Chains A and B, each alone.
Chain A
Amino acid sequence: MSVGIVGYGAFIPRRRIKLEEIAKVWGADAPSYRRGLQLNEKSIPGADEDTVTMSVEATRNALARSGGVDPIDIGALYIGSESHPYAVKPSGTIVAEAIGATPDIHIADFEFACKAGTEGMFVAQSLVKAGEVKYAVGIGADTSQGAPGDALEYSAAAGAAAFIFGDDDERVLAEVVDTYSWTTDTPDFWRREYMHYPRHGSRFTGEPAYFRTSMSSARGMMEKAGLEPKDFAHAIFHQPNGKFPMRVGKKLGFTQEQLETGWLSPWLGNTYSGASPIGFTAVLDISDPGDLILLTSFGSGAGSDSFVFRVTDRIEVVRDRASSTRSQLDENQIYVDYGTYAKLRGKIRMGE
């Protein structure tokens, strides 16, 4: 019995804003931002959506693909986010209550910038592997914000991905072959308590942070697992913009074809803790049995969690039991203007 994913699901809100809409307001040169960041538009949560609501629906999708896992049997649930609705009061308890997994369950909320989602996934699969629980859920979800007029405003987006880990052979659709994490203290991006928006170290966020960390993690993963880029069908990296994941992937030796299925940021934006996990769900939606997949997240601060998954035959039985990630990304979008966006994202000072 090997540990793996028995159910997966994503949730992407329907609202979008185009890069031009934002650039117009701040007098920025839209075409050069498009080229420089490789971003076109991003997802926005509605006034009624947050990390918790998206996580509930993503987990419901994961349960739909799990072939009848009873929520009562979930022994642990972790949500990683940098935009938990409460500073103190867990998100995980609300999600667990909504899916009917309480009270016999361990819950914790995780944070570590954009890698909080894969952290939850790492701990979830470890618990199942150790035999502590039968099923464990790891969720990455965010509705993070960028300061008005800041470069991050073009990319900060909303979305969630949920993974149920278990070890029952007949349910596992993607085995966890191995995991590896590479973490150092690297002050590239932060937000102090009580501050509304994060700050970042501009170009320091590139080479010393994102690239050094992601590459060390991916290389360390492949060395530990005795694998090379050519062994993988797909690779997914963290997606703070359109450019970085492609660049890091190619630097490591992956091809466009291996990278493009999980590469959603040009149309989705950066969903922070949801970013590489949601990219991973898009890959699972089309992967073939036997495929090896590398998932390498990145969280500022900084760290990177890598996983190697092997897809099983089961994927073909269950993948259509919930809506695909691409359909959520590409269909039924609602485009809004900057004023509506500012209203939805609480950027307008309201009356007391």
Chain B
Amino acid sequence: MSDLFTTHLPALIIAIPLFAAFLTPLISRINGKGRNFVVIVALLMTFILTIKLAWHVYTDGTFLYAFGSSDASGFALHTPAGYVVPIRILFEIDAMSALMGIITSSLALLGAIYSWNFVEKYETQDKYYTLLLLMTVGMFGMVFTGDLFNMFVFLEVLSISGAALVAFRTEKGASIEAGLKYMIISSLGAMFMLFAVCLLYGQYDLLNLAALAKRMDYTLLDEIALVALIGAFAMKSGAAPMHMWVPDAYGEAPASISLMLVASTQASLYALFRVVFTLYGAHIDPTTIGWLFIIFGLLSIMVGVSMALMQDNLKRLIGYTAVAEIGYMMLAVGVAIASMGSGYSLMALKAGIFHILNDALDIGLLFLVAGVLFYRTGARNLAQLGGLARNMKYTTFFFMIGLAAVAGLPPTNGFASKLLIYESIYLFNPVLAIIAILASIFMLAIFVKVFHSAFLGPELPSLAKVKEAPPSMLIPMAILALVMIIIGLFPNLVYSTIVCEAAKALLDQGGYIAAMIGGA
């Protein structure tokens, strides 16, 4: 029984939120609180299963799961032309996918808990929770699948549900506009991804990532596919100069959905890394592709912090810093690619992956704090806020943790990953390290401005009666802050286990192919 349960873990992780998504509107007709409870329980179960799956991956190696035919010669479609196509979808979960799964499940669970009070005044909560669960399914599918077309389908699930959630506050024109922009940008990215899939399928009759990686002849068409995939996923990750949708979407979405959008941009970043490292692997030109990533990273960092400095809308400000944070990850991974074969290449990759985890926590926490400020004061503009530390002590403390982490101040988790990034890129090119450090100083200045304008200063008469956030909103922030403190104080606890394994898995193209089809 236990074996059977373990064998079907990936299917359960997808099936439980999917089933709950369609159950939600039905329960909603009976009891609203019951619906919220079911959503949280479903996501809690998914979280536990993801941890169990990750544990399995980190102890026993890559986990393979076939939906449909268990082997290529089993349940198959026989075409008149003589082709035998096994009918199945394969999930391949290695240490990198497992890490992304943990991020997805934890942020989705915290987002659902936070939503309990945050969206209680909206009548369309049934749709909200259905879409939130579908978005979670889309992210899980993207990070678990071993099939390129499957990845496209899950990207679409993620994009459609994400766009609807960005436009959730239908009474506001700006939300609908942001949702529409997100939809157009997502469709454009998905279209180019589909174009790349077509190019690859047309040549090799294959969609499976491992099989494609093994069979690829690295033709001109494969180069065109690579360009389309990099462009699509870089845009979906929010890399500058294709980042402009990010502050719109993050700024207008409910805070709990901004948290989910952080995870979704990281799922796209994961897809980008998977394409580069697993699909094309050792055949990419490290200098060209590495420097492309570095340029994306530098642009994202510089544009992100500069634009954030000018913002007075708190959520847009955090949105721009999220762009800068994506830049740090791309910069580190770019250095890892460009310096492939050197001693610090692996360290740069590990640093980039470590920062993915830390960014999800830091930016996620800051969005939740921004949501609390909006929920209690109704204000989105920093100029309308002040002196809130008097009435919102816990929220202030959580913001300070988020501030320190995102600015990379010791001893937070953000410092640990940024230290590794600085060191590895310094060994590659000191100028890059100087820019990265300067941008972190800017980041500190930006959040000190937020801290001063919103939390410090005299008690404003208009905000004298503001109360602390309700428990359902404090709990997710407390959990995030606690995890950040633990990772900050014991960085090696996560780094030497989860992060290092994820980096090794991402680099091990042969291992990925061998796990899927045997024999690299």
Answer whether A and B are interacting partners: no
